[in-house]
């Protein structure tokens, strides 16, 4: 019964704060934990080390504690007694300021893959305001009151007139016709996405198409309903793109980004906008990156180069992967793509750099590092040869 009350209250706090939530006893054992964002092994605080460190330092009861680790990850804790036993509830991590990713990459000498993972993880950790922190502290201070409170809401039913059941068979026929129409449109929609035709795809299924609103589902939870629809749409789009032989790594990146946006959508208007954005971006992805007109050997090489574009290319390794000789691979690649493998990789790097310069407020040195150039000066020369502008000049012109 004691654990039941503690855990149920911790669950409430987890829902209220949307942060990782832990309850730890005096021996450092986890009574409850709910992790929405996990810390990778190469970061300080991995495997709940920060959480355990904070719990060891919480000596006074009925006291709120703040803990900040070397990377700026912050936690809040509250200590209390239950039947004479000491417990700590801890929430976090969160950031009080936007982290300097590039500074962390340089300071801890992270690999390119680790830096990409770090950026993805840090995007999932909330940056909170002083007012939010104050609210979290107030919630923690109410832990014991929440634990003892019993909720028994009084349910009030509205008076509704019972409608008569009219022509049940006709209703069944209408539902069957609706399902048939939906599947037919879905089939045409998947074909349009597979061809990269976003105009047709949006015409078939878009945010204002009531045929696919499924308003009968979760009638009392419209936000959850639209989120679920977007999750299903993301899966359909991912499947259509893969059927068009778009490299898996590119599909994974766009799918993960939209999955995160969907779960963090706070209103129906934003989620409907995400729905249309997904259709447009997946169609553009198919149109720009479909490999279906290449031979199987070159498809395999292109997928590998796209996945590891920021790393050095070992042509002998690529040839072995394709079960051919390096010379033959180079000739086949040039014939089918019109570029050498090195030129293709450089094109990928420059395009990614252009995207980062347009969409991210990152130093040019960091952009160079992300796309695979350790020497920023060399990156600047390559970029100018490919675009006619220096990286800074390209950003200033707002292309």
Spatial CA neighbour of 123 closest among 232, 231, 256: 256
- What's the confidence (pLDDT) of residue 167? 55
10-residue mean pLDDT profile of the chain (399 residues): values are 76 89 92 83 82 91 91 91 90 85 76 73 79 90 80 67 52 63 81 85 73 53 80 88 84 87 84 90 85 85 85 89 91 92 92 86 89 92 93 85
- What's the confidence (pLDDT) of residue 47? 82
- Please give the Cα distance from 43 to 37 (Å, whole number): 13
- Please give the Cα distance from 169 to 181 (Å, whole number): 19
- Tokens for 168, please give them: 């049940």
- What's the confidence (pLDDT) of residue 221? 67
- Please give the Cα distance from 90 to 52 (Å, whole number): 9
- What's the confidence (pLDDT) of residue 333? 92
Is the whole-model pTM more than 0.75? no
Distances 241 to 156, 184, 192, 285, 308 between C-alpha atoms, Å:
49, 19, 10, 8, 20
- What's the confidence (pLDDT) of residue 23? 94
């Amino acid at each position: 019964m004691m654990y039941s009350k503690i855990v149920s209250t911790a669950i409430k706090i987890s829902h209220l704060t949307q942060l990782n939530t832990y309850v730890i006893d005096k021996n450092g054992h986890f009574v409850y934990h709910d992790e929405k964002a996990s810390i990778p092994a190469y970061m300080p605080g991995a495997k709940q080390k920060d959480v355990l460190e904070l719990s060891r330092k919480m000596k006074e009861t009925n006291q709120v504690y703040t803990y900040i680790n070397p990377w700026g990850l912050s936690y809040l804790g509250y200590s209390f007694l239950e039947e004479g036993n000491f417990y700590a509830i801890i929430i976090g991590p969160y950031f009080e300021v936007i982290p300097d990713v590039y500074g962390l990459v340089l300071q801890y000498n992270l690999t390119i893959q680790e830096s990409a993972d770090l950026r993805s993880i840090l995007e999932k950790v909330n940056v909170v305001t002083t007012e939010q922190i104050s609210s979290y502290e107030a919630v923690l201070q109410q832990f014991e009151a929440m634990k003892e409170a019993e909720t028994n809401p009084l349910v009030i039913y509205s008076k509704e007139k019972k409608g008569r059941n009219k022509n049940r068979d006709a209703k069944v026929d209408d539902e069957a016709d609706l399902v048939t129409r939906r599947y037919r449109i879905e089939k045409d929609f998947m074909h349009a996405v597979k061809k990269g035709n976003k105009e047709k795809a949006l015409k078939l299924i878009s945010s204002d198409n009531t045929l696919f609103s499924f308003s009968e589902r979760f009638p009392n939870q419209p936000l959850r309903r639209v989120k679920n629809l977007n999750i299903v749409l993301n899966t359909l789009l991912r499947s259509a793109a893969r059927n068009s032989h778009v490299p898996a790594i590119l599909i994974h990146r766009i799918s993960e980004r939209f999955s995160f946006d969907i779960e963090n959508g706070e209103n129906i208007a934003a989620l409907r906008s995400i729905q249309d954005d997904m259709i447009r971006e997946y169609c553009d992805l198919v149109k720009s990156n479909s490999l279906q007109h290449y031979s199987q050997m070159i498809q395999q090489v292109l997928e590998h180069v796209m996945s590891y574009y920021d790393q050095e290319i070992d042509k002998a390794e690529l040839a072995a992967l394709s079960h051919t000789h390096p010379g033959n691979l180079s000739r086949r690649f040039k014939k089918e793509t019109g570029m050498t493998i090195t030129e293709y990789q450089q094109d990928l790097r420059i395009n990614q750099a252009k995207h980062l310069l347009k969409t991210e407020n990152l130093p040019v040195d960091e952009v160079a590092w992300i796309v695979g150039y350790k020497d920023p000066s060399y990156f600047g020369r390559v970029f100018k040869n490919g675009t006619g502008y220096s990286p800074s000049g390209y950003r200033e012109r707002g292309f």
